[in-house]
Chains A and B, each alone.
Chain A
Amino acid sequence: MDEGYRSALDLADDVRNGRQTAAAVLEHHLAAIELREPEIHAFNTVLVDEARAAAAAVDAAVAEGRDPGPLAGVPVALKDNMCTRGIPTTCSSKILDGWRPPYDATVVERLRAAGAVVVGKTNLDEFAMGSSTENSAFGPTRNPLDVTRVPGGSSGGSAAAVAAGFAAVGLGSDTGGSIRQPAALCGVVGVKTTYGVVSRYGLVAFASSLDQIGPFTHTVADAAAVIEAIGGHDPADSTSIPQPAPVLTATLGDGVEGLRVGRITDLPKGADPDVEERVEAAFAALVAAGATVVDVQVPAFTYGLTAYYLIAPAEASSNLARYDGVRYGLRVEAPDTNTMYMRTREAGFGDEVKRRIMLGTYALSAGYYDAYYGKALKVRRLIADDFARAYQQADVLISPASPSVAFPLGDKTDNPLAMYLCDTYTIPSNLSGDPAMSVPFGRGADGLPVGVQVLAPTLGEATMFRVAQTLEDTARG
């Protein structure tokens, strides 16, 4: 398959117009999986039979003259924390052993309705807690660009699947950067939309007030098309914004002439020089394309990490309490219920998940709530206010997506705090609920890709995508 098919939209266009069958597209991707999956381990489950049936249905629609949908025949890899009816959904945890959801997540229904073909469920840090996809009960995923390195996380499986050509589109979930950071490390586009643009129904919750599903793609236009397909109000998710999906593809090519691009002067330090160099290049590229750069301050940005590691674990401690061995998943038998709970959860959860459950339980406990969880909520409010103020001066903000390029496996597994710092630049957008995306913008150390982050105000996706498109155009020269 030629390079053109690295774009999901080109691929769908060929399928829709009968120049290519969905079956052939799928076989091409399955062949790539067969060749490199043993080395990469992007998937927890590859759905060969189901994918072939779905591709055949798309081809039948085309043959019968029915509209096969905007993503006709596009192979999609789903992070394994999105529910798929009758298909194991593991969250890369032993605790969900044997569980098969009786329903599909809203995004899965919408992808299928758009003609996409689900090829498999991808590996993640257990319950999306991590930044390297090493915290998986099923072993780590490796970065297709350098298999000695991590793909980032927690949606590392989906990022790697797209980077390796296993699927044209991956879906991930982003609670503190879990789409944008692996996108940066794998050299693909990764988007977190405004909280509430994409339905969470059927996404296994980590931290409900922060979780947001979004795409990994090779191109900015592909990401826009995927959001148009999966976004928009869902009555099954009470936090879903009651309006249609944002219109993004129509204005992608409008350029950045006259846009004000913000440089956060009080951004926390810590990004590697090669990453800083690419961010500077991004500012230069946008100026060259007609934008102006303005200095802004987001003083509370620096407290994002701390607030996040109270709020996210607090919600997680509650969201993960249901895994008690009573109704589904793993159960370790014991003489009484309390012992059964303890043995099941001891055996079923990995260290990082246990660490966060304990952190969160403590933060919410009587006598500590005000000092920890309550204060973190105030910081969250400050961050949102600071962003809102910055967006009075700038239309978008630019920052690194990750402080470094992909790092070696095992590099940070013994140091949770070092791992947490991977999300320094991504976390504040989750706390404010605003959109942000990572766009590949050249290479850094060891020839590995660097992602530049474009941040935008609430529901500012259309502008964000124009900026991203301009960066992509520059990077591709």
Chain B
Amino acid sequence: MADWEMVVGLEVHVELATATKLFSASPNRFGDEPNTNIDPVTLGLPGALPVLNRQAVELAMRIGLALNCTVQPCTFHRKNYFYPDMPKAYQISQYDVPLNVDGWLDLPDGTRVGIERAHMEEDTGKSTHLGGAGGRIHGSDSSLIDFNRAGVPLVEIVGRPDIRTAEQARQYVGELRAILVAVGASDAKMEEGSMRVDANVSMRRPGDELGTRCEIKNVNSVRSLGRAIDYEAHRQIDLLEAGERVVQQTRHWDETDGRTHTLRSKEDADDYRYFLEPDLVPLAPEDEWIERVRAELPALPAARRTRLAEATGALVTGEAIAVVVERGQDDYVLAVGAAGGDVGRALVHVKEAFADQGTMPMVPPEDLAGLTSLETGGKLTPTQAKQVLAELVANGGGDAAAIAAAKGFAAMDIGALESLVDHVIADNAGAWAKFAGGEDKAMGALVGAAMKASKGQADGAAVTALLRARRP
């Protein structure tokens, strides 16, 4: 592996979160009864004509602008091929002149991945194959088609082959997903199919020209993506090191056996006979429209992570920052700070306890600020703080000090702690002698005794500090 360089380019399809379909007024909604969100256009009935959905264009522009693309006047083409769940026997897509071109996406590790294009197209229906082998059309007894998904707007984001490791590929998808969610373009759920990732993988000796690539399909999670890429890389290395050639193919990732399998080779590829879609006119978004969409873009995840890291002092590449920004709770954490709370403690609490709370947590920022103040003031142990936090979440807020008092978490001031430590030293002379003699292990017994004597209300860290201070 060390002698080989992996080259990966990702093609990501995302379903846009529009109210209606790309070319008709049927609802764009996941999970409805099959074949209820249909109309003459969706079914490709004779005589029906497409009318472009302006909201879909706007969401596609948001994606392009968030990925630093140039938004340009563009056209639609027909991509012709037969498949039972494609009602017109052609897909309306963008071909040589797409809406968004030439952008980039920066990975959290600093790698810049080029974006070749992000174009609009319509989704197909969904087939369910009954009987026969493995849910595939070949050998099945019959097939059912649900056209609810047909005509749902998609944007295909074609990344340049700038990715060099499976980890970068995972980061790319994670970052892209965060951006798509942040700009409101898509819910981007790989598991539900609203975000689909195909990976083009090739291997080369560092410095060589690009090798022959294989395209991997059917990757349904970020974790599978990494596994599929690593498997494919090793498969290609084995071939190359055995003196064989990699054949350009489309390969199917099989989650159960952890391998990729041949789907079709380049020679079997359809001739799509692209030509300009005569039922639509060219799309030329006016400059004012583009600039309005650009101005309305929210802060993107990378910028928000930086802002939150600077405010909290946490590591910008750390998990807490990533998780809280992805959930869109960074504004909330900062609001806790503005309410006089400790943003560092707030970050930890929000990450741990606010997973289900969305961007507008129920607990008022002032209430969480109250809790963090008790903590930084040494009034609560971490264990106690956790219990108060759970109460705040369960009640949708409350006065942290009152909750602590109700739970009997009487704040122990420094005088009480001093006398507690005096008692512990007196009652545990043996352990104290060992500790005083330099044996750190003995501290455990002393702290344990202090906690027992205080019925758990003493702050372990404070007790430790006092014990160390007393050591001769």
Using a CB–CB cutoff of 8 Å, the interface residues on chain A facing chain B are 82-83, 89, 91, 96, 99, 101-103, 105, 200-205, 207-209, 235-239, 314-315, 317-318, 321-322, 324, 326-328, 336-337, 341, 361, 364-366, 369, 373
Contact = CB atoms under 8 A, between A and B. Distances in A.
Given A321-B80, A327-B87, A337-B137, A365 B279 contact: no
Given A239-B281, A327-B43, A318 B84 contact: no
B271 A366 contact: yes
26 contacts: A83-B45, A89-B46, A91-B46, A99-B46, A101-B47, A102-B40, A103-B45, A200-B49, A201-B47, A203-B47, A204-B47, A205-B47, A238-B49, A238-B280, A239-B278, A318-B275, A321-B80, A322-B87, A324-B84, A326-B84, A326-B145, A327-B87, A341-B82, A364-B275, A369-B273, A369-B275
A44 to B, nearest CB: 15
Interface size band for B:
20 to 34
B44 interface: yes
A318 B273 contact: yes
**Residue among B40, B43, B46, B87 having the largest count of chain A Cβ atoms under 10 Å:** B46
B46 A83 contact: yes
B78 interface: yes
A324 B82 contact: yes
A353 B88 CA distance: 18
A321 B281 contact: no
B231 interface: no
B89 interface: yes
A238 B279 contact: yes
Contact of A321 (B48, B90, B143): B90
Contacts of B82: 321, 324, 341
B275 A321 contact: no
B281 A238 contact: yes
A201 B52 CA distance: 14
Nearest to B273: A364
A413 B210 CA distance: 57
A99 to B, nearest CB: 8
B397 interface: no
A204 B46 contact: yes
A209 B279 CA distance: 7
Contacts of B273: 317-318, 361, 364-366, 369
A196 B463 CA distance: 86
Contacts of B143: 337
Contacts of B279: 205, 208, 238-239
A373 B43 contact: no
Interface in B156-184: none
A318 B90 contact: yes
Interface in B249-273: 271, 273
A338 to B, nearest CB: 8
Contacts of B429: none
A202 B40 CA distance: 10
A83 B47 contact: yes
Nearest to A204: B46
A102 B47 CA distance: 11
Contacts of A237: 49
A204 B48 CA distance: 8
Contact of A208 (B44, B45, B84, B278): B278
A391 B82 CA distance: 44
